Amino acid sequence: MLSTAVSSKALAAMAAAEGFHFEETLTGFKWLGNIAARLESQGYTVLFAYEEAIGFMFNAVHKDKDGVSAAAAFAEMAAHHARAGRSLRSHLAALNEKYGPRAFLSGYFIADPPAKAAGLYDELRAGGNYPQVVGGVPVTGVRDMGVGLDTTRPDRAPALPWAAGDLMLTLYLPRGGFLTLRASATEPKLKYYLEVAGAPGEPPAAAAAAAEAVRRAVIHEIVRPEERGLGVQREG
C-alpha cells in the first residue's frame, strides 16, 4: 500500500502491525502511480494508494485516482459491515482501538509573492537548530528536503527524491505523527499538514486536542504570519 508524504501515516502504522509492505511517495498521483508500477514489476500486488487531497486508487488497475472505483469499494465495505451488524463509525472506532487514534489537520498561508515563505526555511535551518518541541509535543526527527537531511535514517539522507533549496520540511512526532511545512509549486501558498498519533486504547479526543495545540504553535510560534506578511487561511 502507498500514500504520500503529506498524508496520514495510518497505513504505515497498519503495515508495521500487520506486516504488509508500505511505501511513502512525494505528493501527486504521478508518484503514486509510478511507484505502484515499479512494485508490480517486483512481484507485489498493490491493493490501495491514496493522498490527503481526497484521491484513492484501488488495485492499481488504473494508476491514478478514481472516484468511481473508490465509491464502489466504500459501498462494498459498508455492506460487509452492515451484514455483520456493524456501522462504519463502529469500524473506525475499532481501528482506532487497535492501531491508535490519529488526528490530522491541514491549512495554508497566502505567500504572495512566494518568496515571502523562503525566509521561514532559512530561519528553521539556521545552524541546524530545528524545533525540538511543537505545541508541547516532542520532535523525534527532522526531514529537510532542501538540504537532503533525514535524521531518522542511518545515512541521514531522505529516502524520497530531494533537491537543494526545496521548501519542504517535516518534523517527526511520536508514534508516526508529523508536521510538514511545504510551499506549493503551483500557487502562492505555504501549506502545513500535521498529524498527532495516540497509542492504542487512548481516546481520540486526546489526539485531537494535541493536534490543535500543534496547529496553534505552527501559526503563532513557527510561521508567525503577521511578521512575514502572510495571509492566514484555515482548513481541515
Q: Per-residue pLDDT for 236 more than 70?
A: no
Q: Which residue has the higher pLDDT, 6 or 186?
A: 6
- CATH (domain of 87): 3.40.120.10
Q: pLDDT (tens digit, 9 = 90+) per residue, 51-69? A: 998 899 998 778 999 999 9
Cα–Cα distance between 21 and 216 in angstroms, integer?
Answer: 34
Q: pLDDT (tens digit, 9 = 90+) per residue, 4-14? A: 999 999 999 99
Judgement on whether residues 31 and 85 belong to the same structural domain of the protein: yes
The 10 Å Cβ neighbour count of residue 86 is 14
Whether residue 190 contacts residue 121, with contact meaning beta carbons closer than 8 Å, is answered with: no
Q: Is the pTM of this model over 0.85?
A: yes
Judgement on whether residues 20 and 111 belong to the same structural domain of the protein: no
Cα–Cα distance between 115 and 111 in angstroms, integer?
Answer: 7
The pLDDT, as a whole number, for residue 59 is 80
Judgement on whether residues 205 and 192 belong to the same structural domain of the protein: yes
149 φ/ψ sector (left φ>0, alpha ψ -120 to 50, else beta): beta
Judgement on whether residues 119 and 223 belong to the same structural domain of the protein: yes
Q: pLDDT (tens digit, 9 = 90+) per residue, 208-235? A: 999 999 999 999 999 999 999 999 877 7
